[in-house]
A and B are shown apart, each in its own frame.
Chain A
């Protein structure tokens, strides 16, 4: 099997893309679907972000499959300064189309009982739990599209990777038993 790394340049203009409910539908890239958002936090809220990190760590430890329906690869949360203000960056890489699963993400997050850390961003809709449209519009308004994405093992889904790892483990065990 040939696993051939690929890179994709992503044009800045979006006119050629199909328009979805929340704007242009970005294509799947060698790094799968995903989005990055960049937003200013409400001043002074930094400690809440760090507490949130501990909450998520504990939640996933307790319920390892809590985010499974979102078909994620990786999530990254960052805080960094620009001109004395603190900005937040969130990057998600996943296997589902953003437009089709926004409501599911909102339902899932509001169902965990963990409030989203997005509530500490300027302009985030307070009624996000019952207003997935408002959630999606905020995300889209703060989305910064990639101009280049790269995949060392391009286009593979998290489910395929997990299956391959399980298969490797099973084959290893079988070989051990044959000895």
Chain B
């Protein structure tokens, strides 16, 4: 897989995950989150199946930009009212640092945002290992450029409801001069309901204190809200704030990456490193930490268990340290263990590195069994949500 394009942005109001550590964290008091001021996409897992559209804008005129934000705020879905018929259909909005500048946010306020957000993802390419083919020079434009100011996201369980949400959003920006839509990406769940490499995704979601939204790992102590939303106490007892506080409160940071996936190359690699079809499945599972069904190696290391994979009450209910400290079942380098080491012994403290991860697939399915690249662009639009960009990435 080759990472290709991305952009940092601050997202006011939208949705992340964690592990146990022997460190006693301060204050067990829970502050309820102001869900009606937090975007639904920040806190609520996306629907499955789904369709999604991302639209990026450049602000050419400051007043038009401010007008856009005012109008968009009226169509953005909050995290409150999870039982409403529209709860699965969100419209969310995010701003880049360049976008905040284009809106005329004063320098003192701009300076109060996190260092990583102010730098932007492209300028941190070395630290993020975005080199070689993944160098920012090779990113799809305008991703990573200073032209990208605002991103609107609409996510819905089906096209009909997505179109309705997009219509509402279009009302907000249609016929506005001084605003230019510069990029669009349509995403959709594949017919297999898996990400392009063929694995069930969207499984792991952290429990967040005060959100009322259940996490997917019953063995995980809920994380302090300040790990995911600005303005609340985090795992260390500190609070991320902006100047003035109201500017960032109930918002968060989102890292947005367009990840091109080389599905044929992945299949060839798995085949070349396995002995027969069953072994191919094991090799793929060892790379992911889960079988394609979503069943975790931690719970069924020797064979797939599709019923377990499909059971949301069980498919993320595990830790590593007691049962598998060295990674004999779930390799330490597998995708799911690297992205969330849970309670395993690692360098650092996992609970301060948690993030909400959310992917939506783009491009056509590469039919099963095809080992030659068809030249089509396919992959994931990936969002990482969290209040501490530096510890998350």
Contacts and interface: CB of A to CB of B under 8 A. Distances in A.
Interface of A: 18, 20-21, 65, 68-71, 95-96, 99-101, 103-104, 106-108, 110-113, 129-132
Contact of B236 (A69, A95, A96, A129): A129
Interface of B: 21-26, 115-116, 126-127, 235-239, 345-349, 351-352, 388, 390-391
A96 B116 CA distance: 19
B348 A104 contact: yes
A99 B238 CA distance: 18
A103 B391 contact: yes
A130 B348 contact: no
Contacts of A99: 390
B125 to A, nearest CB: 10
A99 B126 CA distance: 14
A70 B347 CA distance: 6
Contacts, number: 66
B342 to A, nearest CB: 14
A107 B23 contact: yes
A107 B24 contact: no
A104 B352 contact: yes
A18 B352 contact: no
The prevalent SS among residues of A at the interface is: helix
Given A69-B347, A96-B347, A104-B348, 9 more contacts: A69-B348, A69-B349, A70-B347, A70-B348, A101-B347, A111-B21, A129-B26, A130-B238, A132-B236
A108 B236 contact: no
Nearest to A110: B236
A22 to B, nearest CB: 9
A131 B116 contact: no
Nearest to B25: A111
B115 A21 contact: yes
Contact of B238 (A96, A104, A111, A131): A131
Contacts of A100: 348, 390
Given A20-B127, A107-B23, A107-B352, A71 B237 contact: no
A69 to B, nearest CB: 5
Given A110-B236, A129-B236, A18 B391 contact: no
Contacts of B349: 69, 103-104, 107-108, 111
B134 to A, nearest CB: 17
A107 B236 contact: yes
Contacts of B348: 69-70, 96, 100-101, 104
Nearest to A20: B127
24 contacts: A18-B126, A18-B127, A21-B115, A21-B116, A65-B345, A69-B349, A71-B347, A95-B347, A99-B390, A101-B348, A103-B388, A103-B390, A104-B349, A104-B352, A107-B352, A108-B349, A110-B236, A110-B237, A111-B24, A111-B25, A111-B349, A129-B26, A130-B26, A130-B238
A130 B236 contact: yes
Contacts of B23: 107-108, 110-112
Residue of B21, B23, B352, B388 with most partner-chain A CB within 10 A: B23
A129 B349 CA distance: 14
Contacts of B391: 103
A130 B237 contact: yes
A68 B21 CA distance: 12
